[in-house]
Chain A
Amino acid sequence: MLIKNYKDLISFADTFKNSLEKQSIKVLVCAGTGCLAGGSLAIYEKIKKLVKENGLLVDVDLLKEEKGIGVKKSGCHGFCEAGPLIRIEPFNYLYLHVKLEDCEDIVNHTLINGTPVERLMYKDNNKLYKTQEEIPFYQKQTRIVLGNCGNMDAENIQEYISKDGYKAAAIALTSMDSKEICKQISDSGLRGRGGGGYLAGKKWSQVLSQNNPTKYVVCNGDEGDPGAFMDRSIMEGDPHKIIEGMLIGGFSTKANTGYIYVRAEYPMAVERLRIAINQAREYGLLGENILGSGFDFDIHINQGAGAFVCGEGSALTASIEGERGMPRVKPPRTVEQGLFGCPTVLNNVETFANVPIIILNGVEEFKKYGTKNSSGTKAFALTGNVVNTGLIEVPMGTTLRDIIFDIGGGIPNGKSFKAVQIGGPSGGCLTFDESYLDLPLSFDSLKKVGAMIGSGGMVVMDEDTCMVEVARFFMSFTQRESCGKCIPCREGTKRMLEILEKIVAGNGTVDDLELLKDIADTVKNTALCGLGKTAANPVLSTLNLFHDEYLAHVVDKVCPAKVCKGLSTIYIDANLCKGCSKCARNCPVDAISGKVREPFVIDSKKCIKCGACIEVCSFRAILEV
């Protein structure tokens, strides 16, 4: 089937819309990575089977005129904590923690009789939330970029087209010229969602102004920040939106080839993108003379091989070229000499996903959300010690308090909030301080306080988290992932890690803190690429905000959060010990001694704090402080 022009697309969209409406009930089983892990695929198959047995199933092909119930695999609904999730339209019921055993009830009650299965619905303080939209986690969100994620079949181009999919591309390709598109993207104020926050429209105009006949569009899906999965969810849940964004990007910069670079850890995203690209080719939305505009464009997928640094632009293009993924000195910038030495538009997944929305809804509508210098919405991955983990989307300028306490539902297990880490290994930690918690999140506001939006990972930490250990954790990540090309990053991260390990082990001194700050500043100022320049951020931000905690480690030799083993002591409570000798027999270093039936003692000089004795003690007589 081929869509030859704008009119074709509109008439197809109408056909698909009509046949979608014939599906009186739509069952959207979440098939994002999170819910798949919880067994959602088996649930999908079972519901489909049950519906079929009842003679109610409608085929997924929207060109067939049939009435019935549609059962679909959708992208991520975002509420990963409560997966596997099922959304049922038109009631908008959201069922949580669905198990195979629940399928019969869902089919018999909801699909046949239209009545809800209340035990699967969200409850809070004895209040039942029947629809997805009522649940506080969703209520405070503005889902635009993620609008289709979880609301449609992610593997079906017809559904995407029925939701005005490829309409923006059709408008751009048939009634706008390159400059107009670049201007519209510039006017919208869309800034790169991958971390840097560079104006996307400006980048596009710069590529357009290059004379080279060969140009490329590259989509960065190498989402390597630990604690971030926004791009994964978009690639899995709405792959056509990315393709459409890239197509518009290609047309407006006169590039005919696109590459999507996806990290190796995301096999499902690769699979969905591959399906989507093939469908787009089949419909003539990729290939030659797209929509009769005379413009040719095609997209290839490249899979990463596990190098964090490939998220950096010049390293990423090197990796596509089959080289070691190392950044290079700039200039020349990617817009001048990027992939294969040609001018290249390089944007992040979420940035491309914003493009069709801007073209379709216009600049004013886009700027309705967000702040003056950071317009639009932003997806965040909310994780760590927070009640509702998952994928969220809020307007730029939303405060941390709204995100962590209203959407995230606060800290679980009655613990108190300690810090939030934003922007992955390049970002910083913010703490419980009124001024930080009420900080409107935007590119500029976070930069000012030493953090960054980064790609949008947000890890919440409770009182049981040691900030020095967190800094050590990030440094060990950056040190391992440093590509080794420039000395400040290669050596600096190694030395910083050594110092942090020394502090965590209980051997740090006050001088070490000085030295740590000194090295951190040097790396920040002298490293070659963006990753090196920001590698010290977790150290600098924790040194700044949690200085007391560092001092406690080096001066008082205690870890206030009781995380650092090197600073703890293990002792036997003489009143509880029965003298069974089990601990002494299990100690790997013979640090425990005593007479049977009398309290045993631990020689703290020999003890390596492995905790083996605590595990085996039947009387809970061994304690760690």
Chain B
Amino acid sequence: MFNAEVKEKVDEIVIRHNCNKKELINIIQEIQKLYRYLPEDVLKYIAFKLDISDAKIYGVATFYENFSLEPKGKYIIKICDGTACHVRKSIPILNAIRKELHLNDKKNTTDDFLFTVETVSCLGACGLAPVITINDQVYPKVTPQFVVELINDIKKEAI
């Protein structure tokens, strides 16, 4: 079981939502914001608090793409592969990032948990294609060279 500090935080969130099971998605969203993923024991605890089954909360948590049961990196890089970005060549950008971080389509978080690389279907910034975001900061009209430099800058900062 997790520690008292975590329990206190989770309790606060659940109570703020009136322990209402209809608020489940909003509650998990806040948990994910806090930990960058959904720890299993926290999910079980929420299920207990809301009086729903573990299966139910697992079903909801795995249905939506934004929820993750795996820990994510400190910097989440989202590469837009929506139609507009796709026709303006977003895949070479994805490949360059993966190559730089030694990731692939199965492994998308670096071992040091600094970066997680994901593709998204559309960020709604199609006028600026191709687009990536790093922790919600939008970078317009990127090139493979630019993203590699960007990653290296972040790495340097993180040391």
B87 at the interface (CB under 8 A from A): yes
B140 touches A265 (CB 8 A): no
Residues of chain B within 8 A (CB-CB) of A326 are 63
Q: Give min CB distance, A522 to chain B, whole Å.
A: 25
A38 touches B29 (CB 8 A): no
Q: Which of A188-202 touch B at CB < 8 Å?
A: none
A477 touches B121 (CB 8 A): yes
Q: Give min CB distance, B157 to chain A, whole Å.
A: 19
User: What 0/1 readout, one digit per residue, does chain A (476-502) give for beta carbons within 8 Å of chain B?
Assistant: 010011010000000000000000000
B23 touches A322 (CB 8 A): yes
A323 touches B83 (CB 8 A): no
Residues of chain A within 8 A (CB-CB) of B140 are 34, 37-38
Residues of chain A within 8 A (CB-CB) of B125 are 33-34, 37, 80, 229
A232 at the interface (CB under 8 A from B): yes
Residue among A307, A320, A459 making CB contact with B64, cutoff 8 Å: A307
Of A2-10, A104-112, A378-386, A510-518, the one with at least 4 CB within 8 A of chain B: A378-386
Do A37 and B21 form a contact, CB below 8 Å, given A383-B127, A389-B84? no
Residue among B64, B84, B120 making CB contact with A227, cutoff 8 Å: B84
Give Cα A521–Cα B13 distance, bound, in whole angstroms.
47
User: What 0/1 readout, one digit per residue, does chain A (549-588) give for beta carbons within 8 Å of chain B?
Assistant: 0000000000000000000000000000000000000000
Residues of chain A within 8 A (CB-CB) of B66 are 264, 305-306
Do A226 and B22 form a contact, CB below 8 Å, given A81-B127, A324-B63, A457-B83? no
B60 at the interface (CB under 8 A from A): yes
Residues of chain B within 8 A (CB-CB) of A37 are 125, 128, 131, 138-140
Do A384 and B136 form a contact, CB below 8 Å, given A37-B131, A224-B122, A305-B65? no
Number of interface residues of A (CB under 8 A): 57
B124 touches A303 (CB 8 A): no
Give Cα A533–Cα B151 distance, bound, in whole angstroms.
41
Residues of chain A within 8 A (CB-CB) of B83 are 226-227, 383-384, 421, 424, 457, 459, 473-474
Residues of chain A within 8 A (CB-CB) of B88 are 384-385
B26 at the interface (CB under 8 A from A): yes
Q: Which of A4-38 touch B at CB < 8 Å?
A: 33-34, 36-38
B124 touches A389 (CB 8 A): no
B84 touches A459 (CB 8 A): yes
Residue among B26, B131, B136 making CB contact with A267, cutoff 8 Å: B136
Q: Which of B128-143 touch A at CB < 8 Å?
A: 128-129, 131, 136, 138-140
B127 touches A80 (CB 8 A): yes
A33 touches B126 (CB 8 A): no
B64 touches A389 (CB 8 A): no
A319 at the interface (CB under 8 A from B): yes
Residue among A36, A263, A322, A473 making CB contact with B24, cutoff 8 Å: A322
A312 at the interface (CB under 8 A from B): no
Residues of chain A within 8 A (CB-CB) of B63 are 307, 324-326, 483
Q: Which of B100-131 touch A at CB < 8 Å?
A: 120-129, 131
Give Cα A227–Cα B124 distance, bound, in whole angstroms.
7
A391 touches B127 (CB 8 A): yes
Closest to A308 in B: B121
Closest to B86 in A: A473
A226 touches B121 (CB 8 A): yes
Residue among B21, B64, B121 making CB contact with A305, cutoff 8 Å: B64
B26 touches A383 (CB 8 A): no
User: What 0/1 readout, one digit per residue, does chain A (291-310) give for beta carbons within 8 Å of chain B?
Assistant: 00000000000111111100
Interface centre among B59, B66, B67 (most CB of A within 10 A): B66
Closest to A474 in B: B83
Q: What residues make up the interface of A, taking CB atoms closer than 8 Å to B?
A: 33-34, 36-38, 80-81, 83, 223-229, 232, 263-267, 302-308, 319-326, 340, 381, 383-385, 389-391, 421, 424, 457, 459, 461, 465, 470, 473-474, 477, 480-481, 483
Report 11 cross-chain contacts, Cβ distance below 8 Å, ordered by A residue.
A38-B128, A80-B125, A83-B128, A227-B122, A229-B127, A322-B60, A324-B60, A384-B126, A389-B126, A457-B83, A461-B87
Q: A228-B126, A305-B65, A459-B83 are in contact. List 9 more A-B contacts (CB 8 A).
A: A305-B67, A306-B65, A307-B63, A389-B84, A389-B126, A457-B126, A470-B87, A473-B86, A477-B121
